Structure 1
Amino acid sequence: MNMKSWKPVMVFLLITVLLATTACSSGGGNSGNASSGGDGAPSVSSEGDKLEKKSIKVVYNGGGRKFPDGMDENNNPYLDYIKENTNLDIAMQYPPADGYQDALNVIMASGNLPDLIYTYDASWFENYVKQGALQPLDEWIDKYGPDLKKNIPEEAWKTVTIDGKIYAIPSMNAEPGNELMYVRKDWLDRLGMQPPKTLEEYREVIRAFAQDDPDGNGKNDTYGYIMAENVARIAPIIGAFGVQRGMWTERDGQLVNSSILPEMKEALAFLAGLQKDKLLDPEWMLNKEANFSEKIASGKAGLFSAFWYDTRGPILTSTTNDPAAEWIPLEFPAGPEGKQGTMGYGYIAGYNVVPVTSKNPDAVVRMLNFINGEGYRTLLLGFENEVWTMEDGKMVTNFEKHNEHIYRQTLGESVRPYNAPEERDRRDSLGLEFNLNDNIDRIGEVAIRDAFLGVPTPAMGKYTADLKKMENEYFTKIVVGQLPIDAFDEFVSEWKKRGGDEITAEVNAWYAENK
């Protein structure tokens, strides 16, 4: 539905009708309700009419999403929806998704800065704060951001607070993490095995899947466990040792990087043992996402660390290819000390910042507060009775309309609330048979989160890429047996010398001020 801007007379008439009637519709965000008509058209917010009319320019990453014919970033019903409910005139600019951060640098160097810029890059954010190019937003959040304060947790605000002032309004990650274990139950049944719980039970299932012909075709053509390049898809395995790669964790009052802890060495030793016994996919170090998924879909692998949405991807393709294939989620493997875990996401997905030249930080906060609160449900899900409907108490998505309106999510994702119930509705609407919310809940129960919540430190900017490359090289060679497990100690020494100690000092300086 293409909602045009109404003339003043029409606005007056509409408000009169709204005051005389009661409209029932789905609410938005975590606060308040956004009324909509039976055709999905949103009504004008009376709160928006009380606020001063202002104009703002906004730079967002459209992610390459397409608009329907006749629409663009400045001509579509979802932008109209925001305008009409905030009394703002909003001009959007979407630089190309490829090279987006470079485009932001060009914009910042120009003499014509917008009022709002969205970035995914924490280092970019910190750099421009230190240059004095961004303005603090505390005053305006306190005045115009009640939903922002309600729907964004304290830990996230800490991440965007520098020298005691808030310099960005964060968008939250919608999921607590990504990976959980899935297994072919039909393979377990054929081999007379129970779903594994401990790491040693996992090892026995991995051995059986590699050696005991779980698919019953009489060929030695299955893998015990499948991984991906750069030692990826192992989060639940190393979580059994209580750690996750690259994360900071507290030890004796100090933050230390989990990649250099003895527990990481134990996890690598476990994986190296699987490799030595020929229980892993022999080509795992070459597996990119496409061929990783193909091996699952084609019946080569029956146990792997799945992304929470893989039930709609390679697992679905597997069951389509082989109707006998039955996949079930597993408990996270419990390690030698009973620990379980998987990679937890950081809280923040992106940063909304206001250049110091902007005269309208109040209007920016007004817009973001609406998107994060009252407007979030519509921006995430689409207009009711157009993109989705309620049937027998369940939300059902019209996928053709969902795809046609997918551009709306650029707006919704710009300042996503934390743990929004609308996210659960969205996942269920994609198909209850995919167990997406159950997968997310399982991950959330054991997700290991980073104890460092600050913006990247200067030393991180200098050394992180090199240290990550070195880590991938050492870990890969250790697992495949090109280096002995004790080479891990050499890695730790090199990590510290090549910038790790400098990073650690900066991380702990932050920790001393914020713990």
Structure 2
Amino acid sequence: MNSKLSAKKKWMAAAVLTSLSLAAMIGCSSGKQTAAGGNKGDAVAQEPMNISIMLPNFKPAFPKDDGPVAKEIEKLTNTDIHFEWVPNNTYPDKFNITLASGKLPMVMVVQEKNASFINAARSGAFWEVGPYMKDYPNLSKANPIVNNNISIDGKIYGIYRSRPLGRNGIVYRKDWLENVGLQPPKTIDDFYNMLKAFKEKDPDKNGKNDTYGMVISKFTGPFDIMQIWFGAPNKWGQDATGKLVPAHETPEYMDALRFFKKLYDEKLINADFAVMDTAKYNDPIINNQAGAMVDVTDNAARLDDKIHQALQKAGKDAPNKQFMDIIGAVSGPKGLHNLPTSGYAGMVSISKTGVKTEQELRRVLAFLDKMNEQELSTLAERGIEGKHYTKLEGGFIETSKDSNLMEGEVEGFNQFVAFIPETRTLPVKTTPVRKKSDEVQKSNEPIIVANPAEPLVSNVYTQKGAQLDTMISDARTKYIVGQIDEAGFKAAVELWKKSGGDDYVKEINDLYKAIKK
């Protein structure tokens, strides 16, 4: 009798365990999933999922795990999140070190599809998420062209972070331009004259020789953008025979390089650009030291806000004054051209060391999918209503002007939001500079220069890409600051070729021919 009872108990225990296992599997299966897994209507709520996220921060301060916005995100997504913030300036190094360690957080922001990431993806360090995206209401609407751009060997190893294609432009001090009596620049020469006036004509009217034209940091984006004005290709261009050639081997690239050196020699840009921390990139404009930057156009609104905040603290604010203005590009020898984004700014990838099962993967994907909804994307980008922003008429909001509050509790969370299929964040009240930014981004689209090799994945580049890129980037910097001349730059290019560059060019052309057939 006892043995029969014991057997019955074992059978019942097994049945209960089976039922629980099935419930867990159903909760993490595809379909109408709630955040972090689980279907609406589940009888028993799942325990919050522990998620670790590595992401860059662009300010000295950053939100804490127990901050109000972080806790609200956790509440709405049934998660317990640890955010590993890394200064943007050192993020590439930290990313590579983390990959090499083999101990990856569950979710990582991947800033670029570089050799280290490609190698890691191919070796199985990250989940291939392409086959799963169709099961989620927002991720299933991802742009197929952008997905193709981020793919590796036709496979998708992350959720791209959506960005406007025509986002790059010239951001400058409108009040300074008015003070020196110039019109907005239309050509490269006009742009040069503006920077020269910002240095020599006392644009801030303080009677001191303490200003310069344009700020540039360690981030090489401004040079990449400006060389397009001269007619240089976007990374790869075609010669007369249709062969793809790297941008740095074109005469237009050298024309741009001479222009950069001229700006440096005449002290129209900051002498410390090669070592300037990107976290301090905005400071010279806010502090009345520099008058322009070549950057994303939406930074103009942020700069405008920061200038007003600085003036408020000093008791000198002019609330209705617009300090910043924007231009998409200036005309060069070959007309009006601009560097596009690739439709994305890196991606959010899921590691296999942090997420070991398909069930866990689906819960993380459900979490990332839900972050695209209006409530959560607004929370991640704007914060909490009543504390970090106020709702206005017309569906707009006004964000807090307390920079310490915003940096310490809000700014940075949007780094892991994909904004797919579109940005649903509650919009900030339209100002002239924000409206101008939107207009410029749209007007940029017809003049952007595509990279014909964008979706191609080179094995040579995977192995040697970081080294090859550094060789050209270092040579460019050395030329600009006068450490080498044109002969020295050409010698660096020859070394690039011998170090794998020739093999890289050949492979890219072979891959390009294959997709053109």
* TM-score normalised by the chain length of structure 1: 0.69
Partner of 2:186: 197
Deviations 1:52-87 (A, max 9, x none): 977766442266630347x897xx34223223xxxx
Partner of 2:74: 79
**Distance in 2 between residues matched to 1:231 and 1:362, nearest whole Å:** 37
Contact between 2:229 and 2:330, CA under 8 Å: does it hold in 1?
yes
**Cα distance, 1:369 vs structure 2:** 3.1
Task: State yes or no: 1:280 paired with 2:271.
Answer: no
Q: Which amino acid aligns with 2:230?
A: F
Match of 1:131 among 116, 120, 123: 123
Counterpart of 1:60 in 2: which secondary structure? strand
Contact between 2:202 and 2:211, CA under 8 Å: does it hold in 1?
yes
Task: State yes or no: 1:472 paired with 2:439.
Answer: no
Match of 2:433 among 424, 432, 435: 435
Partner of 1:328: 325
Task: State yes or no: 1:140 paired with 2:132.
Answer: yes
Task: State yes or no: 1:352 paired with 2:349.
Answer: yes
**Cα distance, 1:335 vs structure 2:** 0.5
* % same residue: 21
Structure 1: segments with no counterpart, 5+ residues: 1-31, 35-41, 84-89
Partner of 2:424: 422
Match of 1:171 among 148, 160, 183: 160
Deviations 1:262-315 (A, max 9, x none): 211111122334455x36247255661477655434444334435542553488
Deviates more, 1:120-129 or 1:99-108: 99-108
Q: Which amino acid aligns with 2:75?
A: D
The count of corresponding residues between Structure 1 and Structure 2 is 450
* Alpha-carbon spacing, 1:232–1:163, altered in 2? closer, same or farther (3 Å): closer
CA RMSD of aligned residues (A): 4.6
* Alpha-carbon spacing, 1:502–1:222, altered in 2? closer, same or farther (3 Å): same
**Distance in 1 between residues matched to 2:38 and 2:356, nearest whole Å:** 30
**Distance in 2 between residues matched to 1:72 and 1:372, nearest whole Å:** 16
* Alpha-carbon spacing, 1:199–1:323, altered in 2? closer, same or farther (3 Å): farther
**Distance in 2 between residues matched to 1:441 and 1:433, nearest whole Å:** 12
Residues 496-511 of structure 1: matches in 2 within 5 Å? Answer: 496-511=497-512
**Cα distance, 1:186 vs structure 2:** 4.3
* Alpha-carbon spacing, 1:165–1:513, altered in 2? closer, same or farther (3 Å): farther
Deviations 1:179-230 (A, max 9, x none): 5323444444444432221112223333444445555666655434554458
Partner of 1:157: 147
Contact between 1:231 and 1:475, CA under 8 Å: does it hold in 2?
no
* TM-score normalised by the chain length of structure 2: 0.69
Q: Which amino acid aligns with 2:192?
A: R
**Distance in 2 between residues matched to 1:387 and 1:207, nearest whole Å:** 40
**Distance in 2 between residues matched to 1:227 and 1:50, nearest whole Å:** 54
**Cα distance, 1:464 vs structure 2:** 3.2
**Distance in 1 between residues matched to 2:328 and 2:122, nearest whole Å:** 45
Task: State yes or no: 1:296 paired with 2:285.
Answer: yes
* Alpha-carbon spacing, 1:131–1:146, altered in 2? closer, same or farther (3 Å): same
Partner of 2:41: 49
**Distance in 1 between residues matched to 2:401 and 2:182, nearest whole Å:** 39
Task: State yes or no: 1:248 paired with 2:232.
Answer: no
Contact between 1:176 and 1:440, CA under 8 Å: does it hold in 2?
no
**Distance in 1 between residues matched to 2:274 and 2:155, nearest whole Å:** 45
Residues 445-484 of structure 1: matches in 2 within 5 Å? Answer: 445=444, 446=447, 448=449, 450-454=451-455, 457-484=458-485
**Cα distance, 1:333 vs structure 2:** 1.2
Residues 203-282 of structure 1: matches in 2 within 5 Å? Answer: 203-214=192-203, 220-228=209-217, 233-243=222-232, 247-250=235-238, 253-275=242-264, 278=266, 280-281=268-269
Contact between 1:248 and 1:256, CA under 8 Å: does it hold in 2?
yes
Contact between 2:149 and 2:342, CA under 8 Å: does it hold in 1?
no
Partner of 2:169: 180
**Cα distance, 1:395 vs structure 2:** 1.6
Partner of 2:64: 66
